[in-house]
Structure 1
């Protein structure tokens, strides 16, 4: 036993020294950026599969109360990303809000959609969700891990505020990269533009207002998403460490990551809800793309918050509290636990490859 133990420890030492000599090949606990991207992309896929039915039901319930007329738009959210969906006419949005009967509640909507339209209808919004959610999530989670590890290496510290800073910067980068894609996709939805027509539309907008016109709506999104991410990662690392200490674990398990992700997502969702209310109201008020071209700064986020508070009181800034928590908390839990599981899988795979090569 002693010889085999020394032999095993010798191999482990060789692996550790090999990884130390080649840190660029083993970032973030022994996995590469490409493996981080694969893990986060898989997490985004699983999260979207889970949350999309909830959003389809929510949109159906909203639509029967206030039917969407030509050119109207509504907000589609899968718990990870928000998407502006514009209905140009009845045919283009039939899958979303033309239902065979009225719904009396959430459970009734689930039952009737499955009975009359088939279970696949619950995922009718999945393609547009994946188009935006997967690349945004890949950029976001990979950037966070890389930034966190970089800050820890530079500061030579396990400082508790590093996740907060890394989360804020990673989200800022993801929002900045995805914002023009979101605008382009919304234009195509609103007018059914061909690619040549879309190119002409973008060129004219850039010629008139400059390249910054592609980032309209960036400000309100940053005000909501950056604080959310900072709070989320800060609380996630705290809760994860607390749970590991509580159950005497050296490494977080799938359930620890799931619980920590759900709790931190819920806290962040509640604290940033006023910004979400403002962004949602602003987007819903944009009835057509001509209105969408108005510069966001003409309607200040803070002025809109004051108006909501004056009309509906402080409670108005926390409208939609329960639906947001119900959707965001499990989405965060599924996303982070799947991501951590994927990273663990790649770490073990890399270690086995290192052992086999020695």
Structure 2
């Protein structure tokens, strides 16, 4: 509460709310730095002590009321918020205490309370309430009647009751609803319960302007004129706005954030989905705040915007009055919104304006991070990959002999028994040398092509996602095929009892340049479908696992990558079996193959259709976690080492803004003062408390 000794009481109040301790309270911003800033702006000196005047603090330090002919009463009311002793000047203690207030989670309400508590008593009286409201522009345009039951109930019939901070917050909320009702009665001179659309528009733009987005403001009259059942009884000409419609319209605007949450629940977090009125109504029955009339009005607005009969996130985004991404950055921070660490929204428009050099640098950046991610993912699951390879190479024809391995688990046990634990990592070095550029070029190409298919709204079609994934898979073959043919021959070499086993260098020399690309067609047949399935599935799964703000925690990225790898890996197994058979050097008594088609025919004739899915489970168990690890490392590296190339950042990588992330317009705005302009602006946008010539400069 505010009082003559407000800083001490405020300190206790912080502690009672489980806020930082007294020591942390003092250190919210560096004390010495705050003192330097205070002395820089303080122009008043009394008995050797420096003070800020109201003009020093409001106009020079905060940058508000820049006009020379600014309203002096507004300056006094704003300065009075900080001046807790009400002596007309601001001491360093008050300056420091106000910095701490701005860091509170309910700073906007606290600030409004200080604005009304002009006497600094820690409570708001009727006289103070009337004095401040009478000074606002909305009262001057549509006067508020203070001689009503609303005032009597809150301040008593004799108007001597004072209200506390907690009670004041509710009064402030209810006041704006009461003011709107009074305005309706003022325009409804004949007491019919109806007003004209233009009168309705006048009330909204005057009293509820903080709830109006451009899309709503431009279409209010059109919507009310087209609304069914809005005609006055006995009239077939003029459309009117009924009182229920009036209250429902305002309630809808107040509840738009709730509507967005209902939409996300109904669509499972898919912002590309659309809903019919019936679908939204079905879900709204669990939310008593939303009535059928409000939903009906919502779809009237949606119809005017051009989306007939269905609502999408795009329309809700245009109608929501507190849409985070449309708010100035300073206001985003106090709403606790999600934002990129760079503070830049990556859209198709910004991407189109950047040059080729930036595109190349971004690709190099992605390639580097993809290399690291690919190496980590490959090393993590390499033992599973070795088992998968040996199972796929195991022939089961009638003239091959006894099977070496019964199943994947038996294979793993025999490798450890006869070759040691290190046998599970046979061929890892060439794998890592090849997998780094392989995964890097796949991830980079997929991201690059996705950028090209992404529209101005940041959306990409399913076809675009499939093409981008397929291109990523095709691009990796130039690295994948040489790496895998060497890796496979090293992996199966341990099956033969021999004193000497071939090295990677020996295999490369033996194969030659063209031999390194043996089985490349089968590699294309495997990698293109795999990536075409994997990347779209990953993108949609990741989005469905994101929280309500679209943010993906690391475990959801890992889970999304693992889930997407299951169908992609298993469905591509037949091509992988053919590739393995082509790349492994046939032994005595085993069939040889002359290409993809010949291999497929012989495998089917000798071993049956089931042979095409040999090692399928092992492939799933390898590819699923490998790509899960690879993708989570890839995206986390982009979060840990963010670089702005003017391109698209991974979806779901938003970071919760903190005070430390803010870039204030004035470098002297530190600590809680980084939020000063946003908080002052907030009491206008949230509560509609507009004071004459009250100009809030926006932070950059």
**TM-score, length-scaled by structure 1:** 0.63
Unmatched tracts of structure 2, length 5 or more: 1-101, 112-326, 334-338, 396-408, 490-501, 646-654, 668-699
- Take 2:504 and 2:431, find their aligned partners in 1: how far apart are those partners? 16
Q: 1:192 aligns with which of 480, 502, 506?
A: 506
| SS of match in other structure, 2:344 | helix
| SS of match in other structure, 2:460 | coil
- Take 1:180 and 1:111, find their aligned partners in 2: how far apart are those partners? 27
Change in Cα spacing, 1:176 to 1:49, as seen in structure 2 (3 Å) is: closer
Q: Does 1:266 align with 2:566?
A: yes
- Take 1:279 and 1:193, find their aligned partners in 2: how far apart are those partners? 17
- Residue in 1 aligned with 2:183? none
Change in Cα spacing, 1:346 to 1:47, as seen in structure 2 (3 Å) is: same
- Residue in 2 aligned with 1:234? 536
Q: Does 1:16 align with 2:344?
A: yes
Of the structure 1 ranges 309-318 and 11-20, higher mean CA displacement relative to structure 2 is found in 11-20
Deviations 1:20-53 (Å, cap 9, x if unpaired)? 497458779xx93333223212211211221223
- Residue in 1 aligned with 2:363? 33
- Residue in 2 aligned with 1:308? 603
Q: What is the deviation of 1:258?
A: 0.9
- Residue in 2 aligned with 1:148? 450
- Take 2:478 and 2:389, find their aligned partners in 1: how far apart are those partners? 27
Change in Cα spacing, 1:121 to 1:283, as seen in structure 2 (3 Å) is: closer
Q: Does 1:137 align with 2:436?
A: no
Q: What is the deviation of 1:348?
A: 7.8
Q: Is the 8 A contact 2:562 2:624 kept in 1?
A: yes
Q: What is the deviation of 1:181?
A: 7.2
| SS of match in other structure, 2:584 | helix
Q: What is the deviation of 1:150?
A: 1.6
Q: 1:324 aligns with which of 596, 619, 622?
A: 619
Bigger radius of gyration: 2
| SS of match in other structure, 1:248 | coil
Higher RCO structure, 1 or 2 (CA under 8 Å, sep 6+): 1
Q: What is the deviation of 1:154?
A: 8.5
| SS of match in other structure, 2:641 | helix
Q: What is the deviation of 1:315?
A: 1.2
Q: Does 1:335 align with 2:635?
A: no
Q: What is the deviation of 1:171?
A: 1.9
- Residue in 2 aligned with 1:90? none
Q: Does 1:220 align with 2:534?
A: no
- Take 2:540 and 2:460, find their aligned partners in 1: how far apart are those partners? 12
Q: What CA RMSD, in Å, does the superposition of the two structures yield over aligned residues?
A: 4.9
How do 1:8-157 and structure 2 match up within 5 A?
8-9=330-331, 15-16=343-344, 20=350, 23=354, 32-55=362-385, 105=410, 108=413, 123-153=425-455, 157=459
- Take 2:540 and 2:446, find their aligned partners in 1: how far apart are those partners? 16
Q: Does 1:164 align with 2:470?
A: no
> Higher helix share goes to which structure?
1
